[in-house]
Amino acid sequence: MRKNAELLFLTIAWLSVMGICLFMAVGRLLKVKNSKFLRMILVTACGFLGGMVIYLADWGNIVPTFVFFIAAIMICCEGSVIKRLTVGLMTASTVFSFNALVDNWSPFYQMYQIVIKIFFCAGLWILIRKLGPDRDFELAPSMWRLLFILTLPPLGIVFSLVLLSDYDTAGISVQYLFLLLLSLSAFAGLLWTMVVLARQQKLEEEALLAEQNRRYYEAMENQHFEIRRLKHDMTNHLQTALALPDDQREGYLRELLEQTGASRTLKYCGDTTVNIILSAKAALMEQNHIDFHVSADISEPLPMEKTDISAVFGNALDNALEAVKKLPESQRRVSLEARQGKGILAVSVRNQGRLPDSEKEERRKQNPGIRQFFPSTTKCDTKNHGLGIPSIQAALKKYDGMLELRQEGEEVCLLICCYIRRPL
């Protein structure tokens, strides 16, 4: 009786070790739901997967274990269906291939086989941790479909060898050994493919954001040029007004004052790029009948790239403008506060309003690539819009910056902070 209890304890112990190792390996590729109960289910499923004995021609082990593990992945992890299914199939085919190699090498189950399986599960976790993609990686649906298709051949090899073999098969033949090793090595190729696709997509996103910021800044520069041209023309207008007779001068001056932008204040702070952006956005706010307030305590030019300044200030104000445009005119209010000091730039953009939960959910479905705690775009051209927050994040990474978007009463507040240091 005591011996049976010790055996049961040892079995639970080594299954738990395998389960934890495979759980951490899966957790590097999929986000596990934040529930202790679901995490325990996934650890259990991983333990059964890692410790299950896979004999050739034995349907009783591989099929139930496969169904249990895939069901646990689908229930306990987050992400698209194709992503969860692909990672689950890739992990299952790899572990089944290795177990089939180890279990069929000897006609009797030995303790060394258990030890080898434990080391394999730990090695799988270390391999994914060291060589796998970043924890927060994401791929387009088309890329996940490609990986899913690439996962099917090694999985098919394992199931074909196990389910279609005869019970008379003694040990493991050279042909079976070669096929199982081929299926096992496919995991390295799939993992490397995943890494390459993730890096490629990240580079494309960074290039898209950089190009968007460049075009944005160029647009601001062009607008600033137009404003300077207007100031130059104003000088000529004033000289003309001085030369006019008294009875014509008043009418001429009144006409000039009614022109948009003629009396615009351009000096918000000590940074020219910030002044250009705030001037342009103030004009847009006025056109949309939005009450816009600015407090910019920036006494000198910011030691940041102009495209990064444009990304931070421009996108933050664009998001706020877009959010309040749908409100009644009496509630359209946007305020910006910026402070520079002690090597830190802090920006706060506040606007009235809160999106209904039903509308938020609908926009999340329409824009699955945008993180759920950020509002998605309401513009029709979702391909070229809706990148405001990611664009700000990309710019802030260069300065160890961070942002937070939160609801404060009836206001939505975007807080931005980054470290800036003037060159020595």
Q: What are 280-291's pLDDT values in tens digits? A: 888 888 888 899
Residues 269 and 185 both lie in one domain: no
pTM of the predicted model, to two decimals? Answer: 0.56
Residues 198 and 273 both lie in one domain: no
pLDDT value at 225 more than 70: no
- Give CA–CA dist 309/292, Å, rounded: 19
Residue 231 has a pLDDT of 62
Residues 193 and 61 both lie in one domain: yes
- Give CA–CA dist 32/299, Å, rounded: 47
- Give CA–CA dist 211/311, Å, rounded: 11
> Which parts of 132-173 fold into alpha helices (H)?
141-163
pLDDT value at 395 more than 70: yes
Residues 194 and 272 both lie in one domain: no
Q: Which amino acid belongs to residue 192?
A: W
Residues 130-156 have a mean pLDDT of 86
210 lies in some domain? no
- The domain in which residue 117 lies consists of 2-202
What is the total count of domains within the chain?
2
259 lies in some domain? no
Q: Worst-scoring range by mean pLDDT, 86-100, 170-184, 207-221, 376-390?
A: 376-390
Residues 185 and 270 both lie in one domain: no
Asked whether the beta carbons of 186 and 158 are under 8 A apart, the reply is: no
Supply φ then ψ for residue 293, to 5 degrees: -120, 140
Supply φ then ψ for residue 58, to 5 degrees: -110, 105
- Give CA–CA dist 193/316, Å, rounded: 36
214 lies in some domain? no
- Give CA–CA dist 52/181, Å, rounded: 18
Residues 156 and 303 both lie in one domain: no
The residues, ordered by sequence, that sit 6+ positions from 73 with a Cβ below 8 Å of its Cβ are 26, 30, 42, 45, 84, 85, 87, 88, 91
258 lies in some domain? no
251 lies in some domain? no
Q: Assign 218 a pLDDT band (cuts: 50, 70, 90).
A: low
Residues 123-128 have a mean pLDDT of 90
pLDDT value at 260 more than 90: no
Residue 203 has a pLDDT of 77
245 lies in some domain? no
- The residue that leads in pLDDT, 38 or 8, is 38
Q: Worst-scoring range by mean pLDDT, 156-170, 223-237, 295-309?
A: 223-237
Residues 182 and 33 both lie in one domain: yes
Residue 164 has a pLDDT of 83
Supply φ then ψ for residue 62, to 5 degrees: -70, -40
pLDDT value at 222 more than 60: yes
Compute the residue count for the chain. Answer: 424
Residues 186 and 269 both lie in one domain: no
Q: Which amino acid belongs to residue 303?
A: P
> Which residue, of 151, 182, 202, is where some domain finishes?
202
Residue 379 belongs to domain with CATH number: 3.30.565.10
User: What would you measure as the largest C-alpha separation in the chain, in angstroms?
Assistant: 118
> Which residue, of 186, 202, 218, is where some domain finishes?
202
Residues 40 and 133 both lie in one domain: yes
48 lies in some domain? yes
Residues 32 and 139 both lie in one domain: yes
256 lies in some domain? no
Residues 324 and 196 both lie in one domain: no
| CA gyration radius, the chain | 31
Residues 29 and 134 both lie in one domain: yes
- Give CA–CA dist 170/176, Å, rounded: 11
